[in-house]
Amino acid sequence: MSEKFEKSELLKKAREAQQYAYCKYSEFPVGAALLTESGEIYTGCNIENASYSLGICAERVAFAKAISDGHHKFKAIAIIGGIHTEKNCPPCGACRQFMAEFCDDEFKIYLAEKTVRLKQLFPERFVL
């Protein structure tokens, strides 16, 4: 699969997942589509809660779905956030640390307007 095709497919799936965002408090819907090394795509959306801190980001929902199906190796993730616009929605700090547990420096992060590698967003990972 070419990188251009991979990016457009993943962004399309991220947009679809964004429709399911439960974001009544922030009104900021996010969708993510995660590509496993074996070629499966897992999607996620943000899920908020009246007890605000319990909310979870779209990226971590996608990772949790994939990991709980036995996947531990990943190639890329696409992220779409916000409405009426397709600006870049880079992952929050907590999601970067979460990704770093399972993804190497070259893991691709497809944003609406650009593509970055995990090492660019998270150059100094915490490891035990």
Query: Does 113 participate in catalysis according to the annotation?
Result: no
Please report how close the Cβ of residue 87 comes to ligand THU at its closest, in angstroms: 13
Structure tokens at 46: 């943000």
Pick the catalytic residue: 16, 40, 48, 59? 59
Distance CA(78)–CA(45), nearest Å, equals 12
Please report how close the Cβ of residue 36 comes to ligand THU at its closest, in angstroms: 20
Enumerate binding residues for ligand THU (CB under 6 A): 23, 26, 28, 30, 46, 48, 55, 57-59, 91-92, 95
In 1-128, where does DSSP find H-type helix?
Answer: 3-18, 58-67, 93-102, 118-121
Please report how close the Cβ of residue 2 comes to ligand THU at its closest, in angstroms: 26
CB 31 within 8 A of CB 45: yes
CB 42 within 8 A of CB 33: yes
Q: Identify which of residues 10 and 58 has a Cβ nearer to ligand THU in the complex.
A: 58
**Catalytic positions, please?**
59
